[in-house]
Structure 1
Amino acid sequence: MTHQMNRRALIKGIAAAAVAVPVVGTAGAAPAFAASPAAASVASADSLAFDPDGYTEITTTISTGDGDKEVTYHFWSAITYVTDPVDETYQSLTVSVPVSIDGTAVDATDAPILVSNSIGGYLPSSVSTNTGVSSSRAQLAIAAGYVAVEPGARGRTLVDSSGDYYGTAPAAIVDLKAAIRYVRYNAGTIPGDTDKIVTAGTSAGGALSALLGASGGSSLYDDYLSELGAADADDVIYATGAWCPITDLENADGAYEWNWGTNTLSSGEEVDQDVSADLTALFETYQSGLGLTADDYGTITADNLDDYLLATYLEPSATSYLADLSDDDRTTYLSSNTFITWDGSAATFSWSDYLDHVGHRGKDAPAFDAFDLSAGENNEFGLDTTEARHFTDYSLANDTSGTGGSSLDSDIPGKLDMMNPMYFIGDGNDDRAKYWWIRTGTKDTDTALTIVGNLALSLENLGDDVNAALYWDAAHGADEDPDDFITWIGDVTGYTG
């Protein structure tokens, strides 16, 4: 850490010296500054040094909740964030820094930095061909005057010429941590406040965003990061945004059956009810073991979890949705959904009626550790030339692939820990993010509502600031309040521009 602090002080001194050398930029843009000879020598000697002048200037129009904004920004393309990458196509990031919004100059020196990934399904994600700011969240970020970083990462389907899978667990989280370390390593030269990094992601990307927030500063990943030549910096972040996170994988099958076990598949067929009952029982034991508490409920167990989710998330979600409708549209909706009782200001209904309203479950049983190893999560725990493996004792004991053994492979427990934010939250990691934005849809049957409920409540029990909510009638991947998230970043970081 001493080395890191000394290096940051050196870079800040170099950056200050560089300010005296203006460079004429594109008309209307904020002035850029050339690095001094001393800065150039540091860059040449350090392959992970951020090049402050390596940008392209771009002007674009971005639609926001406050209308269209013309944003001029500096864009750094495909920066490899480790010295010994396995695959630079995925292990690179882009940086976008606003310099002008609607003709007014912007100084993003102290702005929060949004690190927004585009990972889905634990699949590989690349920014190597991006020619400008890409994701909608990153666009909204720069339109608000923030810095946006978009990292790529390896994913579970990548196979090398020897047939080895090189993007399975924990590759994705290791890569994202390396990206965070790159940003923090370049404090003082990369624009933005590297102590105010906010992560964002959806689905598996949401799980990884939550994991970044929960696992900050953990030494569990050090050997992997060292092997890649990650920057000599920490990977602590300030705040996390997670949408419909596919996480807590070793307990996700049981959570899914507790939540959706009574619903049929879209074909109308029931899943195996014995399997569903077995997994539900496993979840009941897990839920009790969490020891989570909530006001008015005491300890949250499988027996009162439905009531807790109804009162805390589902009924408020329906209430907000109905309140925003016109009188005619509200009347029409309620006439088609008579299970809802509406008193003019609040919606109430039962858990069983809610399940009937959702209708069909999205996945068979088990939903994540499939008996035949066909689930994407089985591939996520592949190793070497083995494409997919079991990661729960229950599915291993019921294996139908013909490749199951008598016990889980010895590396599985450790990798499960490294892939699960609940592990670090349960351990009370002091270096975790302390601000959380968590969202999912009430009709998202890609996972269970308990995943979001337990994640949020476990953080609240630690005293963190948690902004969690559900989108009524929304499916997997929904993001219905993107501008609110951007505003929230400013609120929790204290940044006013």
Structure 2
Amino acid sequence: MGIGATAGVAAVGGIALTAQASDDTSSNSSDSLAFDPDGYTELTTTITDADGTDHSVTYHFWKAITYVAKPVDATYQSLNVSVPVEIDGTAVDATNAPIVFANSVGGYMPSTVAEATGVGGGEMTGAPTGGTSASASPSASASSSTGTGEVQSGGNAMVNGMGAMVNLGKLGLAAGYVVVEPGARGRTLKNSAGEYYGVAPAAIVDLKAAVRYVRANKGRIPGNTDRIFSTGTSAGGALSSLLGASGDSPIYDKYLKELGAADASDAIFATGAWCPITDLEHADGAYEWNWGTNVTASTSKVVDQTVSKELQSQFAEYQASLKLRGLNGFGPLNARNYDEYLVKQYLEPSATTYLAALSDADRATYLAANTFITWSGGKATFSWADFLTHVGARKKTTPAFDAFDLSAGENNEFGKGTTIARHFTAYSLKNDTTGVTSKRLDSDIPEMLRLMNPMYHLVEKANPNRSKHWWIRLGTKDSDTSLTVAANIAAAANGLGDDVSHLYYWDEGHGSNTDPGDFIKWIAKVAGTGKKRGK
């Protein structure tokens, strides 16, 4: 499966276009779902790899291909494809290269590739930019749902900072991989009738449809469609995790059929997830268990401890129900020992790696400023309580995700019809401050939660068609979510026998990616393609 130094143009451009056979003639036999191998533009760009080395990359670029036969809004339901044909003057045949499936979702907001002029051009938006849907109209912007939830950090912060994040699509292209960048609907999209058409489960359904499009076009679209590596950060990391966990799950079939998705598998080979904002119905309890005693950045005060403790109790009950075991033989994970597990499995190793990489002088300076760390024998040790003090203020108030006043981005994510935001936990519904009189969650909420939670597919269902390779990363100072969320995904996948690479970046915050070169090499390793460019 190696990427050879052969004539790439012939291998990429010389594939005959044939119609995709399907029993569903109303959606899947449409020529709109047949990839045109000759419909590219040839571009050349300079890409700097993770080691800081510049590479001249010539590639074929297919722009804004609608990946479903019956799109709700093709501005978002389209994807770009980039295929390298020459790197630093050497021809590349990417016919069987791994495919990097890089989403640009943040804050569960819409993402589009429609305006991209080349690889890495996907962007998160707060409102439609004039889609092809006849009903598209300006939606609620990010400011419609400020407050305590994802929009506050994973939303607005990512709008301002997304461009500064590591572009794994570009690094993948420079390594000789095929890059697919899918757009997806998001929670703020609203049509002329005032209906929110990008709320749950739209984003995951769209990404699944995009995977199906790629897999249905095996032999036409360049790259190995059996070696798809999904990537995403924040809510995009959550969706990447969900994409990996839920491969070919039948609970999405009716939604995919409505869109005219291709009749193909939506399972992916491997999952890359950075700071995933997920397991939302349990995220409030996990957040309080982790950060409940820290002051809040916006108020410099500790949150209501009665609420915090009630939510922590919910986390304890939930964590026990998962029956997960920690990595490296730690044993059962519960609310009583999770702090010890995080310290020993992730936090002390993370600090040790960070400190060991410093010069003697810089290490001494850091340790002098952070006396809670004991440095002995080339290893860092400290307590959980001291770690929390080191992190300092938490980012979110309480509840962090299902806000009592419906102000969180996640409340918007579970909106429906013309209703911008809804509660998705019984606890927050009970404590609602907006005047909601219902005593029960809306009847469709349990289904929406199953559709949006990777833990459902890893624990409750143990989906056999899930991704079997996992790359999960989180910053130790990321208080956009609980440190337990990523660790639970890793523990669940590991318990199923999957290949799991999971670590935390010391002193890094939300959206961090400090080892992108290692991820690129990991792709080559698990895909079986050998050593590649893009260190």
Q: Distance in 1 between matches of 2:30 and 2:435?
A: 53
Is residue 362–residue 446 contact of structure 1 (8 Å, CA) maintained in 2? yes
- Whichever residue aligns with residue 169 of structure 2, its letter is A
Tell me the CA shift for residue 248 of structure 1. 0.2
Give 3-state SS (helix, strand or coil) of 1:432's partner.
coil
Tell me the CA shift for residue 65 of structure 1. 2.9
Q: Distance in 2 between matches of 1:286 and 1:45?
A: 45
Over 3 Å counting, the alpha-carbon distance change for 1:325 and 1:480 in structure 2 is: same
Q: Which residue of 2 aligns with 1:20?
A: none
Q: Which residue of 1 aligns with 2:466?
A: 432
Tell me the CA shift for residue 479 of structure 1. 0.5
Alignment of 1:75-154 (within 5 A): 75-134=61-120, 136-154=167-185
- Whichever residue aligns with residue 122 of structure 1, its letter is Y
Highest CA radius of gyration, 1 or 2? 1
Q: Distance in 2 between matches of 1:133 and 1:41?
A: 27
Measured against aligned partners, the alpha-carbon deviations of 1:22-81 in whole angstroms (never above 9, x if no partner) come to xxxxxx973464565x74899996210000000000111110134111111000000000
Q: Which residue of 2 aligns with 1:323?
A: 356
Is residue 30–residue 100 contact of structure 1 (8 Å, CA) maintained in 2? no
Query: What is the Cα-based RMSD across aligned positions, in Å?
Result: 1.6
Q: Which residue of 2 aligns with 1:214?
A: 245
Higher RCO, Cα 8 Å, sep 6+:
2
Q: Distance in 2 between matches of 1:223 and 1:329?
A: 57
Is residue 247–residue 451 contact of structure 1 (8 Å, CA) maintained in 2? yes
Q: Distance in 2 between matches of 1:150 and 1:273?
A: 43
Give 3-state SS (helix, strand or coil) of 1:142's partner.
helix
Query: In the alignment, is residue 251 of structure 1 matched against residue 251 of structure 2?
Result: no
Is residue 341–residue 347 contact of structure 1 (8 Å, CA) maintained in 2? yes
- Whichever residue aligns with residue 430 of structure 1, its letter is P
Q: Distance in 1 between matches of 2:370 and 2:438?
A: 49
Structure 1 gaps, min length 5: 1-27
| Percent identical residues | 63
Q: Which residue of 2 aligns with 1:9?
A: none
The aligned length equals 469
Identify which range, 290-299 or 328-337, moves more after superposition. 290-299
- Whichever residue aligns with residue 487 of structure 1, its letter is K
Tell me the CA shift for residue 272 of structure 1. 0.8
Is residue 8–residue 93 contact of structure 2 (8 Å, CA) maintained in 1? no
- Whichever residue aligns with residue 105 of structure 1, its letter is A
1:457 pairs with one of 483, 491, 507? 491
Q: Which residue of 2 aligns with 1:283?
A: 315
Over 3 Å counting, the alpha-carbon distance change for 1:196 and 1:29 in structure 2 is: closer
Alignment of 1:166-205 (within 5 A): 166-205=197-236
Query: In the alignment, is residue 30 of structure 1 matched against residue 9 of structure 2?
Result: yes
Identify which range, 390-399 or 60-69, moves more after superposition. 60-69
Is residue 297–residue 304 contact of structure 1 (8 Å, CA) maintained in 2? no
Q: Distance in 1 between matches of 2:29 and 2:402?
A: 47
Measured against aligned partners, the alpha-carbon deviations of 1:81-139 in whole angstroms (never above 9, x if no partner) come to 00100000000000000001111110001111010000000000000111100161001
Is residue 168–residue 382 contact of structure 1 (8 Å, CA) maintained in 2? yes
Over 3 Å counting, the alpha-carbon distance change for 1:60 and 1:29 in structure 2 is: farther
Q: Which residue of 2 aligns with 1:272?
A: 304
Over 3 Å counting, the alpha-carbon distance change for 1:256 and 1:33 in structure 2 is: closer
Tell me the CA shift for residue 495 of structure 1. 1.0
Is residue 29–residue 72 contact of structure 1 (8 Å, CA) maintained in 2? no
Over 3 Å counting, the alpha-carbon distance change for 1:219 and 1:40 in structure 2 is: closer
1:57 pairs with one of 42, 46, 49? 42
Q: What TM-score, normalized to structure 2?
A: 0.86
Q: Distance in 1 between matches of 2:222 and 2:119?
A: 15
Q: Distance in 2 between matches of 1:408 and 1:119?
A: 27
Is residue 30–residue 69 contact of structure 2 (8 Å, CA) maintained in 1? no
2:519 pairs with one of 479, 485, 492? 485
Q: Distance in 2 between matches of 1:335 and 1:35?
A: 62
- Whichever residue aligns with residue 489 of structure 1, its letter is I
Q: Distance in 2 between matches of 1:237 and 1:300?
A: 28
Over 3 Å counting, the alpha-carbon distance change for 1:347 and 1:372 in structure 2 is: same
Q: Distance in 1 between matches of 2:337 and 2:350?
A: 19
Q: Distance in 1 between matches of 2:438 and 2:404?
A: 13
1:359 pairs with one of 374, 388, 392? 392
Q: Which residue of 2 aligns with 1:16?
A: none
Structure 2 gaps, min length 5: 1-6, 22-27, 122-166
Over 3 Å counting, the alpha-carbon distance change for 1:144 and 1:118 in structure 2 is: same
Q: Distance in 1 between matches of 2:13 and 2:76?
A: 30
Q: Which residue of 1 aligns with 2:152?
A: none
